[in-house]
Chains A and B, each alone.
Chain A
Amino acid sequence: MKRSIVFLVLTASMLMAQVTGLSGWNIFVDPGHSITQNMGVNGYSEAEETLQTALHLRQLLLSKTDIDTVWSSRYNDQVEVGLSERSTDANNRGASWFHSIHSNAGATTHNNVLLLWGQLWNGTPDPPVGGEAMSDIMVDILADVMRIPQHSWGSTGDCSFYGTCSQTGFQGPYLSVNRRTNMPSELSEQGHHTNPLQNQLDMNTDYTRMLAYSMFWTILDKFELARPYPGILAGIITNSETGVRVNGATVEVNGQSYTTDTYESLFHEFPNGDELHNGFYFFEDLPDTTHEVIVSADGYFSDTLVVSAMSPDFVTFRDILLVPSIPPYVIQSNPAGGESSFSAFSNPSITFSRAMDGASVGAAFSINPLVAGMVSLSVDQKRMTFQVQDTLEFLTDYTMSLAGTAVDLLGRPLDGNQDSVGGDDWSIQFTTSPPDISPPFVNASTPSNGSTTVNQRPIINLVWNEELHPNSISSDLVIFEQVSNGQLQSFTLEHHVINSRSVLVIYSTNDLLDVEAYRIRLLSGFADLYGNVRTVQTEMDFSTSNFGYQVINIDNFETNPANYWWEITASGSNSGILAPLCTRSFVTDLSVFTATDNTSLKLNYGWDTNASSWLIREYLSGGPGRNVHFTSSKIMQAFVFGDGNGNKFRFCVDDNIFGTGAHEVSPWYTVDWYGWKLVSWDMAADGTGTWIGDGNLNGTLEFDSIQLSHTPGQSSTGTYYIDNLRVVTRNYLGVDEMELQQPSELALLPNYPNPFNPWTTIPFTLVEDAHTSIRVYNLRGETVATLLSGKLTTGYHETRWNASDVSSGVYMIRLEANGITRTQKVMVLK
């Protein structure tokens, strides 16, 4: 009996330690930072994430191997442990190895894996060596487990990465835990906690366990020990239509069940928890056989898939797209139900919640009284247009209907009354307008007639009361002249139709004179769609201002804007929106006309008129635009192509970005104009609007977002185009306009902010194209950082310095261009 017990105990012990070969070895695991330091973008900190990973790694090693022991620099998130305490603890314990776990920070679009091993100033590994070899293995496995790229440096020495080591200065290793420990060591950066999707994944403790597996496998690989079969099945469950990860989805495998995180189970612990999703599921220790995986979630069709082969030594990933089970429905129609003056020359249209089957929609559509025409679907198959063969009848009551037999691409029938049950009809009534017998006329312009503050390169928008016939539009009918002498001005003419109105946009192709009167004359000949021809001339006068602008571009939407501007629906700040109608895109068919500017930001909005508040936050998450720092002395501007619907637009900035930053907004601008208008927020003079900040523009600012809102009673749908987002300084005539455009001397301009911590912006001007360098020196004359080195063109430039790696004190910035130098002092204050 005793023997049996001993045998069972031994068997259990052997089963627990699946891997032998680590006996006589130990490791000190160091979860970076403490408590909730280095907060992630969604409210989960690097310190919490690294602690979870470290505890899982410790548990894996102790339970699955015969390792002697695993120490950790901290076992909870209550105690603050400093850097010197971490290395001291490891050294006192005499650990065989040291591994520090971190995650990275940066732009919200960045997410990658980086390994940093201890390195001396001369590039050699810091003895005792070993961290480099461990890093080279881990960087591959960790990136594969996270399914994100490696940092461009991959696995590298810390002196090479930070670039600040030298023989007589900072001898290295750069990282304290690599330098002050007396055993082999390395530091891993497991993705970016500033990446929203990554930060939401990190909240799931099983996700951090998966990351710990990558480190566990790295150690086994380094020891050339076979990995035990892990039986891990993991993946992400996503809404097949919206791309949003699904909360509360249940995955059943091998008699086990896993439910993805929900607000109630996890996300309520974080700010904006109702906007968080990760869709992550995780099983381990599944048997090595074929598995049937059943996935279900409220509002989705259940799905079943078969995993025929489990990975013998890695994660078996299966991502799952769940298809929403709610039936398709009509989001909007044109005309809307009850409209009393729908143009008889227009084509009715219907927009659906998802892509539809064209044949079934065509068969289900009807209009009464009967009208000859043809049904067509848009490219995305979400919008149906009834193309009338001739015209509708004037002053006629129509009923437009869709039978419940219209189905989506998966055969789900239309939900005409939106009760979540498909198969019922949809219909509206509308009335067409009376016949048009009047010629068109201009009833508005931007800038307005008689304006005296038009800038030197104006964009003139002439808004008509109705749509012009395209064949009647010609630049020959437009005269753009200087009033004083009749001098003709060159221009480019564009025609756009907005809400059944024509807008003629006139771009001056040259700079006009300052403080000078100009006139636009529209000659007779413009006609509407019904053949009514305008027989009289129209005039519009304006004069130019006595100032210009020194421009710092934030984004002109020409270079990879989709990498940095979120989809509208990605923001948790939105309210009162009809999500399917809210889209952002970058288009070339309508942008501010210049030789180099071809693209603008297009925002389609749809408001839920039953809501009590409305907000769209179109967020700039990163890229060069986020690196433009300024103060409230600037004017923020953007060209906004309005739809005249009377809804609202404003700017949002982050203030005090080097301290306790907040969001501040401009006043709302009611978009009652058609065509381009330069919207300007003079931050010093116009004050702020009300949102979640304190109403003060404190410290250093950077751009955050474009925001839109609804005006009750106005149209619930529409489109804005936005271009040339920028901050400017107004330059008055005779002061320095030309000087700013063509700098007269090499100049290193005052950095801002100053003092600073850790970022400052350093502006400078070049008088000629030059090989230019900017370096930072400490007061001993040692190079601290090289900010740029390369060929630059003449004009105004900026560069930035992140001083997080240096201590407080005075430093010298030195600009050198073509052998000429400029130097100035800056102060880091921490």
Chain B
Amino acid sequence: MTNKAGLLISLLLLCSTAVLAKQIETKGDPVALSRPGEYYMGPKWSPSGDQVAAGGASYTGLYLLDFPTGNVQQISNDYSAGYGFAWSHDGTRIASKISHFNKMRRSHTLVSFNISDGVMETLSEPRSRMSGTPIWTDDDSQLYLTFAEKFESFKTDDSNQEVSLPPLNYIKDGRFQNRLVLQSTGRSSETTHFSDQDHIYSYAISPDGSKVVYSTAGQNLWLAKVDGEDRVSLGRGSAPAWSPDAEWITFMLTSDDGHSITASDIYVINVDGSSRIKLTETPLIFEMNPQWSPDGEWIVYDTDQRGQLFIQQVGWR
């Protein structure tokens, strides 16, 4: 085959892919999930999709809001409980780090909240220094911390059985780490192939575990395999989250003047970068921290300043 023929076939394949690719669109206007005057930050869907958990103002306290009614249940009033929490895969628990302050000193405790009765289980001793936010292993038997200063895992039940850790991905010192790569290569450094210049502020692993989308300083959004290969830029954005079918990514793009957020909107982008769509067009409302519902039909986000949660229905054409 000549080079020209190969090029022609490639172009045809590209065009047909573009024609067949589904396009996302909003369905109706955003709907308020929470009431005006209530303040929530950092919403996350339950695995079943029938609830949204969110932190309170300054991430104090943890709340559950029923979808779509917005009925509220508070399951914690602890400091920091609402920041960086994680739903277990079976949807029965939420892991979080809570804080206590005493004479300027802060102590952190890793805990999990039982959704059915709100009982809090302590998973670590209080520590003056505990960086990171929790992530559940796939079988919910352990928790480990991402954005931590060192790798550490915590058992989530009372069994004495030793469990070997599966391949895990996490952030340490702002760098992406992959334990599968570490174990297979025997490298002493945990850092994978990501650029040394990339200090990661937010990230999300694709549902199939093969890719990671992450943001670095200046809201630069990147997509790569979890081993760091095939890194491509997705333009500007941060706080990314995957669609359940792993074909789309939602994220926020904010502007600020050094004191306040001056603009923020929610976007979606196709994983091949071919379609970047702005979902919100409200200059007076600053939408942030989007999360895709498990069924892929809704995106929930919070709003800066007002702290109200909204949901936007999306569809494809």
Contacts and interface: CB of A to CB of B under 8 A. Distances in A.
Decide whether A and B assemble into one complex: yes
A97 B108 CA distance: 13
Interface string A357-391: 00000000000000000000000000000000000
A102 interface: yes
B278 to A, nearest CB: 14
B60 A93 contact: no
A538 interface: no
A730 B214 CA distance: 61
A83 to B, nearest CB: 4
B257 A804 contact: yes
A724 B60 CA distance: 59
Contacts of A223: 104
Interface stretch (A177-185, A327-335, A631-639, A741-749): A177-185
B217 interface: yes
B258 A32 contact: yes
B201 A170 contact: no
B306 to A, nearest CB: 7
Given A93-B147, A182-B83, A82 B286 contact: no
Contacts of B114: none
Contacts of B60: 127-128, 182
Given A82-B219, A779-B284, A182 B147 contact: no
A83 B258 contact: yes
Interface string B201-220: 11000000000000001110
Nearest to A97: B104
B283 A176 contact: no
Given A82-B218, A128-B60, A130-B101, A24 B128 contact: yes
B108 A94 contact: yes
Chain A interface extent, by class? 35 or more
Nearest to B146: A92
B147 A807 contact: no
Interface string B135-148: 00000000000010
B187 interface: no
B262 interface: yes
Interface in A51-104: 68-69, 74, 79-85, 88-89, 91-97, 102
Contact of A25 (B105, B261, B284): B105
Nearest to B289: A84
Interface string B277-306: 000000110101000000000000000111
A94 B217 contact: no
B192 interface: no
Contact of B201 (A24, A26, A88, A180): A88
Given A182-B60, A779-B284, A807-B283, A92 B260 contact: no
Nearest to A84: B254
Q: Which of A37, A174, A183: most chain B CB closer than 10 A?
A: A183
B73 to A, nearest CB: 21
A130 B104 contact: yes
A126 to B, nearest CB: 6
Contacts of B28: none
Contact of B260 (A26, A83, A88, A93): A83
B59 interface: yes
Contacts of B129: 24, 26, 68-69, 94
Contacts of A130: 101, 104
A809 interface: yes
A168 B258 contact: no
A92 B258 contact: no
A25 B103 CA distance: 11
Contacts of B306: 169-171
Interface in B299-317: 304-307
Contact of B261 (A69, A83, A93): A83
- The A interface, classified by DSSP as helix, strand, loop or mixed, is loop
Contacts of B88: none
A183 B108 CA distance: 12
Contacts, number: 152
Contact of B131 (A92, A779, A804): A92
Given A88-B201, A130-B104, A170-B306, A182 B58 contact: yes
B57 interface: yes
A343 interface: no
Interface in A276-298: none
A182 B59 contact: yes
Interface string A757-768: 000000000000
A171 B199 CA distance: 31
Nearest to B252: A84
Contacts of B263: 807-808, 830
A255 B71 CA distance: 73
B297 to A, nearest CB: 27
A610 interface: no
A710 interface: no
A457 B60 CA distance: 69
A353 B55 CA distance: 71
Q: Which of A24, A95, A174, A780: most chain B CB closer than 10 A?
A: A24
Q: Which of A84, A171, A183: most chain B CB closer than 10 A?
A: A84
B288 A84 contact: yes
A94 B104 contact: no
Given A93-B131, A184-B101, A830-B263, A82 B283 contact: no
Given A85-B238, A807-B262, A182 B284 contact: no
B106 interface: yes
B186 interface: no
A798 interface: no
A85 B105 contact: no
Contact of A176 (B37, B217, B260): B260
A805 interface: yes
Nearest to A165: B305
A168 B37 contact: yes
A669 B175 CA distance: 65
A830 B201 contact: no
B254 to A, nearest CB: 6
Interface in B43-60: 57-60
Interface in B7-52: 36-37, 39, 41
B113 interface: no
Given A82-B218, A127-B58, A94 B130 contact: yes
A33 interface: yes
A346 interface: no
Nearest to A23: B128
Nearest to B219: A82
Given A807-B284, A807-B286, A809-B283, A128 B58 contact: yes
Given A171-B39, A179-B58, A182-B99, A81 B218 contact: yes
Interface string A139-175: 0000000000000000000000000000111110011
A640 to B, nearest CB: 41
A95 B130 CA distance: 9
Nearest to A95: B106
Contacts of B283: 807-809
A598 to B, nearest CB: 43
B133 interface: yes
B152 interface: no
Contact of B80 (A74, A79, A182): A182
30 contacts: A25-B106, A37-B258, A80-B217, A81-B217, A82-B217, A82-B238, A82-B254, A82-B256, A83-B258, A91-B83, A92-B131, A94-B97, A94-B108, A128-B79, A128-B99, A128-B101, A168-B37, A169-B305, A170-B305, A171-B39, A176-B256, A176-B259, A181-B58, A182-B79, A223-B104, A807-B286, A808-B283, A809-B283, A809-B284, A830-B262
Per CB-CB distance, the 5 closest pairs between chain A and chain B, nearest first, are A92-B147, A24-B128, A83-B256, A96-B106, A182-B59
Given A68-B128, A83-B254, 11 more contacts: A25-B128, A84-B261, A92-B132, A93-B147, A102-B259, A127-B60, A171-B307, A176-B259, A180-B58, A183-B106, A222-B104
Interface of A: 24-26, 32-33, 37-38, 68-69, 74, 79-85, 88-89, 91-97, 102, 118, 120, 126-128, 130, 167-171, 174-176, 179-184, 187, 222-223, 778-780, 804-809, 830
